[in-house]
Amino acid sequence: MMAWQQYNLTFRLLSPLHIGWRKSGNLQQSRGYVPGKNVWAGLTARLTRDAGQGAMGEAYVRMGQRVTENFRFTYLYPSLAAGEGYQPHYPWEEDFDYLFADSYTSTALNYSVQSAEEGMLHETECIAPHTRCRQPVYLTGTLFVLSNLPDTVSHWQASLPKLQFGGERGYGWGQVALCRCSLIGESGDLPVVIISAKEHITAHLRAENVTGVAGPVEPLVGWERNNNPAESSNWRLSSSAAICYAPGAIVTQDQTFLIGEYGILGALPGGRP
């Protein structure tokens, strides 16, 4: 039987981090956390490039499938050093925006009139690498890895120090430094998370076949790389939308959820307790 090994992950945030969410006026808002899909994408990209296949589109697709089969991610949350550990903070906490949120304003230029291009002023929200009190910001979460990995992904720990997350990466955003990757132990044949009554979920949770949860629901969609050579666009929206409870929803009773692809939670298979 294949077993999942559980690791604690901690990265120090070195530059602003933007995780695309929604647009309000000229403000492009950021989520206050790193979804599992962004962690999956960062690890997939790094493993592909470390294998010397960074210029091959199909190589990313194949590596992404291997990462999906062998890894499960929780969402990463901004955290502050606390004693010998790290204390995560969540967007539904009252002081979250004050501590972590920042923004960057830019515009396109019209060189013919030597001024800003009309209607192009925009503001990008981000998680800052330091709090307003100048404390360094970390990202913490959990990684589940199958105990018997194929050779193509077996060197995953060597790739962790070179990950980059989120949008605006070409401008240097989303850079992180690995601080901790410590093995906790084995978690059995399924990667699961246990949430006690009245606690918040910290990842998207598929709403189908789930009871005892109260909170906002949203369709989970986003931009993803288009690897179809027959289409001209390099990016496309997700081909399907998962209807999910959003992070921050509260469970009304003790619950155990399966950690699925990209860190999205779901009901346990076959009604398992």
CB-based burial label for 25 (10 Å; 0-12, 13-18, 19+): exposed
More confident residue, 56 or 90: 90
Per-residue DSSP letter, 254: -
Which amino acid would we find at residue 14?
A: L
Which residues 6+ apart lie within 8 Å of 169 measured at CB?
Answer: none
DSSP 63: H
User: How would you class 192 by CB atoms within 10 Å of its CB: exposed for 0-12, middle for 13-18, buried for 19 or more?
Assistant: middle
Decide if 72 contacts 3 (C-beta within 8 A).
Answer: no
d(CA 252, CA 211): 9
| Alpha carbons 17 and 210: distance in angstroms, whole number | 32
Closest by alpha carbon to 201, among 271, 144, 263? 263
Q: Is the dihedral of CA 236, 165, 263, 201 positive or negative?
A: negative
Q: For residues 150 and 10, give the distance between their C-alpha atoms in angstroms, rounded to a whole number.
A: 25
The answer to whether residue 149 scores a pLDDT higher than 60 is yes
The pLDDT tens digits for 11-54 are 999 999 999 999 888 889 999 999 999 999 999 999 999 999 98
State yes or no: pLDDT of 271 exceeds 70. Answer: no
Q: What is the pLDDT of residue 133?
A: 94
Backbone angles phi, psi at 84, to 5 degrees: -95, 5
pLDDT tens digits for 100-144? 999 998 766 556 656 556 655 779 999 999 999 999 999 999 999
Q: How far apart are CA 258 and CA 272, in angstroms?
A: 10
Four-residue CA torsion sign, 261, 10, 168, 16: positive
Helices (H), the chain: 36-50, 57-70, 96-100, 156-159
What secondary structure letter does DSSP report for 52? T
pLDDT of residue 94: 94
Strands 138-146 and 71-73: antiparallel
Q: Which of 66, 91, 62, 64 is nearest to 76 (CA)?
A: 91
Mean pLDDT taken over the chain: 91
Output the pLDDT for position 26.
86
3-state secondary structure 232-252: CCCEEECCCCEEEECCCCEEC
> For residues 195 and 251, is the Cβ–Cβ distance under 8 A?
yes
Residue 101 is encoded by which pair of tokens?
């949120």
CA distance 145 to 67: 9
Give the predicted TM-score (pTM) of the model.
0.91
